[in-house]
């Protein structure tokens, strides 16, 4: 029982012994009857009052629960709205990412919630590591397309500049990208990415490179 109702009930119980009916000079029985009647009337009115308080508190609780439910629904709607996610430029030229409630999230979560590609999210970043990722992503995409299209000249140019790519399959390209940039794919932290790169790109592709030969570079399909 609510504390307010408890106090109300206690006050009623404590007050009942002192409640008497009008005295009668005719007979003690009549006096006792009238006292009992007075107590019964107080008890009934008190119980009714307690019921009214309980009903009011019940309604208030229901209303509060309904407001909470509606607020939660609105929060969930916001979380499902990709337009309510934000990227905010940081001092280093990169970005912080915020969900609709203003909480900071990582770029992997931002990409999943908004449906945007990581390379598009970072395309106007001024952060050096972000720019390196964009370059690596572009080269990896070119290499994957060349592999799928059987472009032996492009494959040869890549593999001569990146000997570690020889003998790898197209799916290995994406795996390499994820391993080099774990924080972008929810596989690690920004510090992990820094430790695995250090200014060293994953895929080198210098169009002026001399020595590329045609006829395939051992790139498997």
Which tens digit of pLDDT belongs to each residue from 137-163?
999 888 888 888 888 888 888 888 888
Structure tokens at 182: 């774990």
- Calculate the CA 17 to chain-centre distance: 60
The b/e string for 177-216 (b: 16+ C-beta within 10 A; e otherwise) is beebbbbbbeebeeeebeeebeeeebbebeeeeeebeeee
pLDDT digits (tens, 9 = 90+) for 45-70: 666 666 777 778 777 777 777 777 77
Q: Report residue 187: phi and psi, to 5°.
A: -110, 5
pLDDT digits (tens, 9 = 90+) for 161-172: 888 888 788 788
Q: Give the pLDDT of residue 214.
A: 42
Q: Are residues 67 and 88 both part of a single domain?
A: no
Q: Are residues 155 and 199 both part of a single domain?
A: yes
Q: Give the pLDDT of residue 56.
A: 80
| Boundaries of domain holding 66 | 3-79
Q: Are residues 71 and 144 both part of a single domain?
A: no
Q: How confident is the model at residue 21 (pLDDT cuts 50, 70, 90)?
A: very low
Q: How confident is the model at residue 123 (pLDDT cuts 50, 70, 90)?
A: very high
Q: Are residues 67 and 92 both part of a single domain?
A: no
Query: Does 24 have pLDDT greater than 50?
Result: no
């Amino acid at each position: 029982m609510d504390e307010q109702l408890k106090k109300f009930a206690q006050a009623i119980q404590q007050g009942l012994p002192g409640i008497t009916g009008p005295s009668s000079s005719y007979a003690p029985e009549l006096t006792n009857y009238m006292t009992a009647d007075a107590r019964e009337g107080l008890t009934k009115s008190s119980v009714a009052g307690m019921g009214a308080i309980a009903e009011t508190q019940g309604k208030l609780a229901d209303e509060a629960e309904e407001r909470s439910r509606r607020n939660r629904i609105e929060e969930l709607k916001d979380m499902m709205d990709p337009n309510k996610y934000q990227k905010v430029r940081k001092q280093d030229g990169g970005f912080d990412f915020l969900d609709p409630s203003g909480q900071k999230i990582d770029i992997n979560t931002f990409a999943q919630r908004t449906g945007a590609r990581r390379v598009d999210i970072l395309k106007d970043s001024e952060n050096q590591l972000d720019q390196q990722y964009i370059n690596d992503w572009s080269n990896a995409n070119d290499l994957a397309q060349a592999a799928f299209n059987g472009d032996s000249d492009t494959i040869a140019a890549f593999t001569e500049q990146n000997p570690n790519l020889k003998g790898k399959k197209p799916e290995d390209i994406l795996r390499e990208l994820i391993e080099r940039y774990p924080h972008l794919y929810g596989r690690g932290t920004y510090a992990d990415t820094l430790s695995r790169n250090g200014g060293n790109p994953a895929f080198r592709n210098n169009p002026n490179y001399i020595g590329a030969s045609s006829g395939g570079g051992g790139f498997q399909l």
